[in-house]
Amino acid sequence: YTITVDPRAKGPAISDDMYGVFFEDINYAADGGLYAELVRNRSFEFLPADNGSYNGLTAWTPTADSGGSGSATTVNDDARLNERNRTYLKLDLTGVAGGRYGVTNAGYNTGFAVKAGARYDFSVWARSDNPTGTALTVGLTGAAARTLIVRGDKWRKYSVSLSSGRTVDDGRLSVLAAGGGTLRLDEVSLFPRDTFKGRANGLRKDLAQKVAALNPGFVRFPGGCLVNTGSMYGYDAASGFPRSRSYQWKDTIGPVETRATNSNFWGYNQSYGLGYYEYFQFAEDVGAMPLPVVPALVTGCGQNRATDDPALLRRHIQDTLDLIEFANGPVTSTWGRVRAKMGHPRPFGLTSIAVGNEENLPDAYWANFVQFRAAIEAAHPGFTVISNSGPDDQGTTFDNLWAKNRAAGVAMVDEHYYNSPSWFLQNNNRYDTYARSGPKVFLGEYASQDAKLFNSLSEAAYMTGLERNADVVKMASYAPLFANIDNVQWRPDMIWFDNDESWGSTSYQMQKLFMNNVGDRVVPSTATGAVVQPQPITGAIGLSTWATSARYDDVRVTRPDGTVLYSDDFNDGDADGWTPVQPRGSWSVVDGAYVQSDTSAQDTMVKAATIGETDYDLSVTATKFA
């Protein structure tokens, strides 16, 4: 097999920004993940209607100390903090002198991860009807407790910092009140001082650093299915608890206590503490281009709805124009002023926006997209408005939307596909035949699924095809980015974490390699000779090179943490799906062991059934008898 490279020939230039990241709040990627807030359900807004397992006290436990007593209830009445943060915690205090009563928060995963020597900033909105005020003691596992005095029956923000003497990963935060009367609390917050780049309301450092280490050219956000699904209406105080809203940027900015909680497509609540301002700031902090996705008013991801309300469509188009002003407008503009007030007078330099994600109704999508595009381009000539090719089509081009995109001269089309490792290997040439003029490709979501390390190798092979076609494929991002190990809706994922640790998958390491070593230009090459296509083992796990003439017993498939996912002692007389690849000898189950009787070769044994889990580096072991 011969590869001929002509160093004088000039292939397409590869942009430094070709590879980026796609952040979606899936798998608890925001609250309990990248957003550094440690308190879960800090504003007591969780409702059974959001998720059957929720109520106002989700993650909170009423707690008494030294004979304290009372009742802790979550209340939505006219005493609320504000119209968007409607429910608060009401503590009616009835305890003996010296006693305290209140609540304890369990945080995420195993609890609060606190580090010895680190500082934590606590804040709470509170009001007390006790004429002498209420002493509120804030306790954090490992830290000396601090006491605040809440005075007056008007909402005020109180803050105190705590210093941890111990490192724990299962801490708790308690807020306990002394005396009598009624104390109301809301927006109970605890942040590590040490956030990424030291930002207030900032991001968890280890997770943000892992993204920064990828050196991303762009950050696509906030989704994904999250963007388009749910109600197309925004927050409306008059209707009380409008939930399951599509992701609308105006819901996510301003003081955090005024950002209404929303329940998202992935089955859990989002506080929007990580909102549009924070996304823009994060993109800037990692040196990446921000790339927002706005809802197109046509749903995808299994929800087939399109708006027939022209006023609603006009409102969303205006919201998108306002978003551009929020990002780029001068501080004298309406939305530029809001950005400046939040702490960033300089523009964020937004140049591109994507309209929609994986819409199932192509005609309805197109009708809306053209209106978004016309309005954006009229107001901002030169702005890149990105369209898409429809739902995850597993690599099959949806001609319907591509044809429309081409005919309309759209700048860029977002494609998504999740497929098997073998598909990625066999489709390395996908873009070789794409038209060289017309819309460019933004590969906004892709990942090889099934067989772990082999996934990453097949992705790497595929990315050589993206780079070879860098004149057509302008941007690409693996998906999804994050997964909290205790709350997984989708796998595989690139960066995994619990409350105090994080680690990259093999695909993370592979992306890091590519993203930090982007070439300047393709050097054309030709290859001659017989191409031997690798034969991937799809949906299988294996133990390589089982020995010749051997007997095996007790095959185990184990996660890195030692958990045994699957074991087989062969005592039931059959091989339960274990088969040799390219069998050269005869195999059988004899006396509760798997026996290889061939003396001439070693084989790779695989279990052809998926064991249901592909995101760990699984190891396979067996006891071998000669």
Residue 480 near ligand AHR by CB under 6 A:
yes
Instruction: Give 396 or 619: the residue with its C-beta nearer to ligand AHR.
Output: 396
Report yes or no: 390 and 332 within 8 Å, Cβ to Cβ.
Answer: no
Shortest CB 20 distance to ligand AHR, Å: 14
Report yes or no: 577 and 512 within 8 Å, Cβ to Cβ.
Answer: no
Segment lying near ligand AHR (by CB under 6 A), choices 75-83, 219-227, 240-248, 494-502 = 219-227
Segment lying near ligand AHR (by CB under 6 A), choices 147-155, 217-225, 434-442, 597-605 = 217-225
Residue 490 near ligand AHR by CB under 6 A:
yes
Shortest CB 249 distance to ligand AHR, Å: 17
Instruction: Give 85 or 449: the residue with its C-beta nearer to ligand AHR.
Output: 449
Report yes or no: 137 and 98 within 8 Å, Cβ to Cβ.
Answer: no
Number of residues counted as binding ligand AHR (CB under 6 A)? 13
DSSP 269: E
Instruction: Tell me how far apart the alpha carbons of residues 222 and 224 are, in angstroms, rounded to a whole number.
Output: 7
Residue 24 near ligand AHR by CB under 6 A:
yes
3-state secondary structure 402-463: HHHHHHCCCCEEEEEEEECHHHHHHCCCHHHHCCCCCCEEEEEEEEECCCCHHHHHHHHHHH
Residue 171 near ligand AHR by CB under 6 A:
no
Instruction: Give 24 or 467: the residue with its C-beta nearer to ligand AHR.
Output: 24
Helices 506-515 and 453-468 meet at what angle, rounded to 10? 20
Q: Which residue is nearest to ligand AHR (CB)?
A: 224
Looking at the DSSP bridge assignments, the partners of residue 2 are 528
Q: Quick one: the chain helix, strand, coil %, rounded to 5? A: 20, 30, 50
Question: H-type helices in 217-264, by residue range?
Answer: 225-228
Cis bond upstream, residue 224 (ω within 30): yes
Shortest CB 444 distance to ligand AHR, Å: 8
Q: Which H helix or E strand runs over 465?
A: helix 453-468
- Would strands 70-75 and 440-448 be described as parallel, antiparallel, or unpaired? unpaired
In 3D, which of 167, 35, 162, 53 has the Cα closest to residue 108? 35
Shortest CB 303 distance to ligand AHR, Å: 12
Instruction: Give 107 or 224: the residue with its C-beta nearer to ligand AHR.
Output: 224
Instruction: Give 221 or 587: the residue with its C-beta nearer to ligand AHR.
Output: 221
SS3 473: strand
Instruction: Tell me how far apart the alpha carbons of residues 207 and 485 are, in angstroms, rounded to a whole number.
Output: 13
Residue 483 near ligand AHR by CB under 6 A:
no
Query: What values do phi and psi take at 495, rounded to 5?
Result: -125, 125
Report yes or no: 427 and 396 within 8 Å, Cβ to Cβ.
Answer: no
**Contact letters for ligand AHR, residues 314-353 (x by CB under 6 A):** ----------------------------------------
Residue 390 near ligand AHR by CB under 6 A:
no
Q: Which of 479, 483, 494, 537 binds ligand AHR (CB under 6 A)?
A: 479
Q: Which of 358, 359, 568, 615 binds ligand AHR (CB under 6 A)?
A: 358
Instruction: Give 326 or 446: the residue with its C-beta nearer to ligand AHR.
Output: 446
Residue 357 near ligand AHR by CB under 6 A:
yes
Residue 183 near ligand AHR by CB under 6 A:
no
In 3D, which of 297, 295, 293 has the Cα closest to residue 309? 297
570, two tokens: 């062969």
Residue 615 near ligand AHR by CB under 6 A:
no
Q: Which of 224, 275, 439, 580 binds ligand AHR (CB under 6 A)?
A: 224
Residues catalogued as catalytic: 358
**Cβ-count burial of 546 within 10 angstroms (0-12 exposed, 13-18 middle, 19+ buried)?**
buried
**Contact letters for ligand AHR, residues 417-446 (x by CB under 6 A):** ----------------------------x-
Shortest CB 28 distance to ligand AHR, Å: 14
Shortest CB 165 distance to ligand AHR, Å: 41
Residue 392 near ligand AHR by CB under 6 A:
yes
Per CB under 6 A, residues contacting ligand AHR are: 24, 26, 223-225, 357-358, 392, 416, 445, 479-480, 490
